[in-house]
Structure 1
Amino acid sequence: MNRRQFLNAGALLSLTLANRRTLAAPGDIVLGQSAPLSGPAKDLGIEMRDGALLWFNYVNARGGVGGRNIRLETLDDGYEPERTKANTDAFVKKNVAALFGYVGTPTSLAAKPIFEQANLPFIAPFTGAEALRSPNHPLIFNIRASYFEETEHLVQHFWDLFQRKFAVVYQNDAYGQAGLNGVVKALGSRGAKVVATATVERNSANVEAALKAILPASPDLVVIVSTYGTAAAFIKQARAMGSPASFASISFVGPTSLANALGKDKTGVMVSQVVPLKGVGIFSEFARMLPAGTAVTPVALEGFIAAKVMTDVLKRANGPDGLLTALNNTNVDVGGYRVKFSPGNHAGSKYVDLSMLRSDGSWAV
């Protein structure tokens, strides 16, 4: 047996074991989620969880899946990889059906060796990193578009506006590197290069060094690959220092929280979105189901979409085929947003749109 045959045989065994173990236990169908519920990135975890719970609670109130409730157990990791590892170990010991809706690239990558060892499906992580997409992984199922696809849309938009000097401020971890790589790739296909780069630390709003590295290059556009607190700190200070640059980020920034953190400096900031913010059924359905006075946020909507897809999978997996078989045969439209998986392609959607903040905090899309 050669190496390729050996690896293929191992993958097949993993799939078989995972397929057998998932929905066999009676009682609730338990999904494990590690996400930041505290710390500077907490809005991302809370919104992702609450969006998913909105749909799961709706399903459970109507009999669940085959009479079984879907129970989402969320453990706080503060957006720190070591805590994510501990949470994932705990979920494996509980024999959860799957891991669902993890938040972040460095945290998801920290969980990867653990869910691989446990043959546990890893579904709908809130990250677009290539490290969780390429090559196609038998246990990882991505519902959202990739960071490469998001940064390509951003670069194309500003390139069409004849802006050529692009700078990148990126988080000093796997998430930031993924975003930087996306911008570099998009510019490279146009024969251009990034004019300046700078790193910022995860869960920090210390941006002074980044400002000193970026502003002297006089960029037309600064792409910020971080979470909302860091991005807001950089934009506010850059504008206070007189920078005429445009500013943009990708969806993981936490668009609603970014708008709130920017205050009067929000106008004109652009964010790529991986869920539809107008004009389709899923947006309207989500808005109707929210408690009165609650605004739609893109992150919560992503959680809601992921939960609808997860429910479709669970309904089909409730028979003899098993969870992985159902996942690998997914082709579902959840209201104008289609998610499709096959055994060779676990990138469920390529949907990307661009949005720009207005002075009143609303999004122009």
Structure 2
Amino acid sequence: MLPPVRHLLFATSFSLAVLAGTVQAAEAPGITDKEIVIGQTAAQTGPAADLGHDVRLGIEAYFKEVNAKGGVHGRQLRLVSLDDGYDPERAANNAKQLIEKDKVFAMLGNVGTATGLAVLPVMNEAKVPLVGPYSGAESLRGPDSGLIFHVRASYSDEAQAIIKSIANPAGRRLAVLYQNDAFGKSGLADVERELKRLNVALVAKAPVERNSTDVAAAVDAINKANADGVIMMSAYKSSAAFVRELRRRDPQSFTQFWAVSFVGGKALASELGADGRGVAVSQVVPFPWGDVLPVVREHAKALPADAVSFATLEGYIDAKVLVEGLKRAGKNPTRDGLVQALASAGKLDVGGFAVQFSPTDHKGSRYVDLTMIGKGGFIH
């Protein structure tokens, strides 16, 4: 006896729907029945190695927690992290490998501005979203960055906070040490823009090459200008070399130093040692050695005490934001589904630290805090 036509049609439609869902899941790159593969390109060697290393540690620590609880919709999270040595060409090649060979679903916690700009066209062509790049540059927040979701404040936000902290900037002789690349030039422009509002001009602008600690010319230029305050828009190795050399030349100098978060506060303090006392650093995540916020306490428990840093906390928060997006993207996520889930998320509180996204604004945070290197570490 033949089944009723309506039953046959229902059974066929149901089978096709199940099959379509299975095909959709199978076709989404980086998604299998058992795992979700996420990619990262960041320096693990070279002058910016501590930053890439620490961001990766924070991501892996949170992924481990999530996986221990069953993963996301039953899938385990796996991070594929490639070393780019803070070199743009290597970063672009890494992105191609992650997308074409490793078949990552999304990218997370990439480190650097010039490296980020090199990766941007690669990820845009493949329509791969990126969460939490370790850069505050406006060049990664433009009209072609719709697949990027920022979890940190911009360098402009940090420049504002630093300049607001300076008593009577009009009465100071301020200079900028800047890395001669997209990051440093962006930061220099941010500082100049903020000072212009106060009708204050820099007395010197001194470049240092990326991945270099040759700061002799920069020290000469800033000494010649008789600067009494220097805002540093450079990585920790070059910033440390600059502070150390300037203080070596004039041990009695009263020059003040400020650095933005990209310097990697813990790495800078370690690099400078006793020469670091009094150097101020703006931060874009909460104080990682505090115990007030839930996310800070969770992060501290997830890592060995000596591994905790501002960068590990940032990586941990980046991972929490991505995981929340993955949960909202559903049991059979697609890249576009992840983008839509995050873009429509509104305010996301990940444990006392909140980011907020909308379809037209992916700049999730403007949080900036100021810290200072003291005798025994950072003073909050």
Residue among 296, 299, 305 paired with 1:286: 299
Which secondary structure state, in structure 1, belongs to the residue aligned with residue 89 of structure 2? Answer: helix
Residue among 314, 317, 332 paired with 2:329: 317
Q: Distance in 2 between matches of 1:290 and 1:245?
A: 36
Deviation of the 1:301 alpha carbon: 0.5
Identity of aligned residues (%): 44
Which secondary structure state, in structure 1, belongs to the residue aligned with residue 358 of structure 2? Answer: coil
Matches within 5 A, 1:1-365: 21=28, 25-93=32-100, 94-135=102-143, 137-160=145-168, 163-242=171-250, 243-277=253-287, 278=290, 279-291=292-304, 293-319=305-331, 322-330=337-345, 331-360=347-376, 362-365=377-380
Which sections of structure 2, spanning at least 5 residues, go unmatched?
1-26
Alpha carbons of 1:164 and 1:136: their partners in 2 closer, same or farther (altered >3 Å)? farther
Q: Distance in 2 between matches of 1:306 and 1:263?
A: 29
Q: Distance in 1 between matches of 2:30 and 2:70?
A: 17
Deviation of the 1:295 alpha carbon: 4.5
Deviation of the 1:124 alpha carbon: 0.7
Q: Distance in 2 between matches of 1:219 and 1:82?
A: 36
Match of residue 23 from structure 2: none
71-80 or 330-339, which deviates more: 330-339
Q: Distance in 2 between matches of 1:343 and 1:146?
A: 19
1:83-110 deviations in whole A, cap 9, x for unaligned? 0011000112133111111000000000
Which sections of structure 1, spanning at least 5 residues, go unmatched?
1-19
Q: Is the 8 A contact 2:170 2:198 kept in 1?
A: no
How many residues were matched structurally?
A: 345
Q: Is the 8 A contact 2:170 2:200 kept in 1?
A: no
Q: Distance in 1 between matches of 2:191 and 2:66?
A: 40
Deviation of the 1:27 alpha carbon: 3.2
Q: Distance in 2 between matches of 1:246 and 1:228?
A: 16
Q: Tell me the C-alpha RMSD between the 2 structures.
A: 1.7
37-46 or 213-222, which deviates more: 213-222
Alpha carbons of 1:163 and 1:261: their partners in 2 closer, same or farther (altered >3 Å)? farther
Alpha carbons of 1:162 and 1:282: their partners in 2 closer, same or farther (altered >3 Å)? farther
Q: Distance in 2 between matches of 1:23 and 1:73?
A: 11
Q: Distance in 2 between matches of 1:188 and 1:22?
A: 47
Partner letter of residue 318 of structure 1?
A: G
Which secondary structure state, in structure 2, belongs to the residue aligned with residue 143 of structure 1? Answer: coil
Q: Is the 8 A contact 1:136 1:345 kept in 2?
A: no
Q: Distance in 2 between matches of 1:83 and 1:23?
A: 22
Task: Report which of the two structures shows the higher radius of gyration computed on alpha carbons.
Answer: 2
Q: Distance in 2 between matches of 1:109 and 1:80?
A: 11
Q: TM-score, structure 2 length as denominator?
A: 0.87
